[in-house]
Structures are given as C-alpha cells and as structure tokens.
Amino acid sequence: MVREVDVSEITKNIREMCISVNYELSDDMKKVLSSAKQSEKSPLGSQILGQLQKNLDIAKNDRIPICQDTGMAVIFLDIGQDVHLTGGSLEDAVNQGVREGYTDGFLRKSVVSDPIIRKNTNDNTPAIIHERIVPGDKVRIKVAPKGFGSENMSQIFMLKPAQGIDGVKEAILKAVNDAGPNACPPMVVGVGIGGNFEKCAEMAKEALTREAGVHSDIAWVSDLEKEMLSEVNKLGIGPAGLGGTVTALAVNINTYATHIAGLPVAVNICCHVNRHIVREI
Amino acid sequence: MELHMELPVTAEKADSLHAGDFVYLSGQMYVARDAAHKRLMELIEKNEKLPIDLKDCTIYYMGPSPAREGRPIGSAGPTTASRMDKYAPTLIDLGEKAMVGKGKRTREVLDAVVRNHAVYFAAIGGAGALLSKCIKKSEIIAYEDLGAEAIRLITVEDFPVIVVADDHGNNLYATAQAEYRKK
C-alpha cells in the first residue's frame, strides 16, 4: 500500500526543526554536560562548564541560538519505500525548510555558494542531504546542523589492515589532540571505521547524531567507545582547552564492512553544541 | 587572578596581564573575522586608508547571528583564531593591542604579541548566548555587504575573557593541558 506524503510537510518540519535544534540541546546532551560539571577536576574547567549550562538556559529562554555558528544544515532522510512523495521536488522542499528556518529563526547564514568565489547565499542553503530508501511507509527526518570550528578539526586516516585496533586508537587520539582548544571542547567524537573513503566519513558524521551515552550494539565497538572516552579524557585538554579532565562528553563509533586491503577511519569532531533532532512523518 | 579592565588595552595594561588571568572587559572593541581581515590586508598592501583605527585597538574574532528586534546583537561567541594567523602579526605591528578569539595561534602571532606588548584573550567557545548579554551596543562600520562578516564596533560590559598568550611569552593552552595530561 503506497502512502502519499506531500513534500510541503517535509518543508514545514525541517523549518521547525532547524529553529528548535539551534535554541535547545537534546536531553542526552544536557545530561552529559551536567554530569561533566560534576566530574571535572579543574576549578577553571568546572567554572566554564557552569557557564555553558547558563548559556543553554539563556538560549532557551531568550530564543537566541546556543552558538552563533548555527552551522551548515545536515539532513538525513530515511524514506520508506512505500512512500510516494508528491507536490514537487524533495530536494527543493528540504532547502525551502532550511531557508525558512534560518530566516524566521534569526539563525546565521553561513553558507557560500562556491568554495573559491565565496559569495554568501544569504539563506543558509543548500543543505547537505543524505537520503536512504528503507522499508516502511514513513519518512524519518534527522536535522543536525554542524558548526565549522570543530568540522575543520576532523580527519580521515586510510590505515593499513596490519595497523589494526591499535592504529584506530592512535588515529582517534591524534585527531582529538590536534583539535585541542580549536574545536570548543568538551567535544563529542564521531568515528567511522570501515567502508571506504566516503562511507567512513558519513558514518562518523552520523555517529555524532546518536544519543550521547548510548553505546553500539556490537560488543567490541561498545568497549572501544568506553575505552576511548577514558583515553581522550586523559589528554588534559579540558573545557575550552584550558586544561582539565573532561575533554570529551562521548565517543560514538559506527562500523561497516570494508575491503581486504583497507582500514579507513574517519574522526568527525563536534563541539559541546552537538545538535540533533529527529521526527517521523 | 580575576580583574576588570577598561578598553582600550594599552601596552602598559597588556604588560600587567598574565596567562590564566580571568578578565572582564568593558568599553569598545571591533568585531572582524576572515573576510574582513582579508580586505584590511589588501588595503594595507596597497598603502590605503583603513576603515578602522588600529592604534591600541581590540579585535574580537566573531560573526554574530542576526539580532532580534530590540536587541543589539544575536548570539555572539568567538570563532577560531587560527584562521586570522596569516593577518594578525601585520595588524599587531601596526598597533592592534588585543585579540579575542579561541584556539591555538602560530609562533609568528605569539612573537608579535611579545614584540608589541599585546595580548591574546580567549572567550568561551560555544557560549554565544551568554556572551551576547555582555554586548550593549553594536553598529556595522564597514563592509556591510559581508553580512555576518562585516566589521562592527561593539560596546561591551564585563565581557569575560581569559588571558591565553601574554607579552611575557606565556601560553596557557600549552601549560594548562600539560598540568592535566595523564599520558
């Protein structure tokens, strides 16, 4: 049975999601930030984490973005194969939602139309859109705006299979240590292991949208997430990079099959303003 | 040490600061980031007049979100300072005394800070809503066509920053991380 969904529904939802995700963090992120304040050993670090919580309160109450870098809009769409999209182009509908959200929500327009000519599009479009066709008759929309202070500190490593799990650990620690204060710690670290060049990067990005504190279903991956969070926090970078015991709030890892000759690892760093919101229509 | 300081920061005031000091700034500072710095450098290279007065100025690396009606500015936290590293030593040699941003700087910038009795402050990255509360006035004074990247003159009250690099050669990012590093 085919279900019809008018793309204007997608526009309307994306508009609202862009606005709300920039004013208020999800509960999982609030929770890990609050427990970070309890565990941070550095007095200055703890003071900074307190200010970040105050920042969240002001953003929510005054309806002002948590961070001025309201990001480039990253949209994941899981489209049920029994859905028939009507009313126009899906891509146009997504970008219209971003356009309306960023304009009506007083969000910063940070997108330039060409990487060299660099003229601002003035409406934060186009978005980065990842579409997947999945079983079912629903459309699942995930909106995850990403700032570039942390995006710029992300890295891809094309490791050799012989480097194994130790190589993966070194890569994660290197990316976090190189990022240091630039990525607005405490960070969330999204990691993709396996696939190929572009697949591991996309997995790292999507790993950031997993709830902080929820671990992988795969036993070795879950263990690695916990171990790497502990190792990253030994680096001493701390809140705002001014020293401390909380450098990351979560390490989320996604994996995929890969080629006999390769071990790709992507590390997508996100700041403490790790924005993600999901709706199903 | 926690202290209050009136802008402008002069060489004498910069000398009194040490990495790790928590400072509340009040007064006027410029706001400029990547595209504005590029244009300023082009004018300097052509020996043309700048739209801002560099002498003893403070530049905040920031691009705000749009202001709601009745408010001076939107969310207004620091951007990554390293993208201005290419331009900063020249501006400091020409009179800029203080930079406000976040993140590591190059050796060239740190040397220019020492050589010119200047200072690099960090504001808390990602605290744009909180910091906007300390900004009382904001006006665009150049390059309006750059939108969020236009040069602004803002008036701040008790704007919280931390001294990262002082003119005695200290760099808080290096020392603070070492203090808590366990590996």
Q: For B61-77, what is each residue's pLDDT tens digit?
A: 999 999 999 999 999 99
The amino acid at residue B20 is G
CA distance B90 to B167: 16
Residue A108: list chain B partners with CB under 8 A: 63-66, 74-75, 148
Out of B76, B133, B180, whose CB is closest to A243? B180
Contact yes or no for B140/B134 (Cβ under 8 A): no
Report residue A32 CA to chain centroid gap: 15
| A241 at interface of B, judged by CB pairs closer than 8 A | yes
Tell me which chain B residue has its CA closest to the CA of residue A234: B182
What beta strand segments (E) does B67-150 contain?
98-101, 119-122, 135-142
Tracing tokens 């976090």 back to the chain, one arrives at A176
- B122 in reach of chain A (CB within 8 A): yes
> Are B128 and A67 an interchain contact pair (Cβ–Cβ within 8 Å)?
yes
- CA-nearest residue to A244 within chain B is B180
Task: Please report which confidence band the pLDDT of residue B1 belongs to, taking 50, 70 and 90 as the band edges.
Answer: confident
**Residue whose token pair is 């697949």:** A199
pLDDT tens, residue order, chain A (281 aa) = 899 999 999 999 999 999 999 999 999 999 999 999 999 999 999 999 999 999 999 999 999 999 999 999 999 999 999 999 999 999 999 999 999 999 999 999 999 999 999 999 999 999 999 999 999 999 999 999 999 999 999 999 999 999 999 999 999 999 999 999 999 999 999 999 999 999 999 999 999 999 999 999 999 999 999 999 999 999 999 999 999 999 999 999 999 999 999 999 999 999 999 999 999 99
Tell me whether residue B18 is one of the annotated catalytic residues: no
Q: From the list A44, A106, A180, which residue is nearest B68 (CB)?
A: A106
Amino acid present at B91: L
Closest-CA residue to B23 (of B40, B2, B6): B2
Q: Quick one: closest CA in A to B20, which residue?
A: A242
Predicted ipTM of the assembly = 0.93
At residue B34, the 3 state secondary structure works out as helix
Per-residue model confidence (pLDDT) at position A95? 98
- What are A259-273's pLDDT values in tens digits? 999 999 999 999 999
Which positions in chain B touch A58 (Cβ < 8 Å)? 129-130, 132-133
B108-145, pLDDT tens digit by residue? 999 999 999 999 999 999 999 999 999 999 999 999 99
Active-site annotation holder among B18, B37, B117, B168: B37
Which pLDDT tens digit goes with each residue over B84-97? 999 999 999 999 99
pLDDT of residue B27: 98
pLDDT value of residue B183: 65
**How far apart are the C-alpha atoms of B76 and B70, rounded to whole Å?**
16
Element housing B155 (H / E): strand B151-165
Evaluate if residue B146 carries a pLDDT over 80: yes
What residues of chain B lie within 8 A of the CB of A152, using their CB? 80
pTM of the model: 0.95
> A170 to chain B nearest CA, in Å?
13
Output the pLDDT for position A181: 96
Inter-chain touch A243–B148, beta carbons under 8 Å: no
Mean pLDDT within B31-38: 97
- A176 vs A207: CA distance, rounded Å: 16
pLDDT in tens, A79-102: 999 999 999 999 999 999 999 999
Contact flag A51-B127 (C-beta cutoff 8 Å): yes
Residue of A nearest to B149 (CA): A110
A212 to chain B, closest Cα gap in Å: 18
Q: What is the distance between the alpha carbons of residues B174 and B165, in angstroms, rounded to a whole number?
A: 10
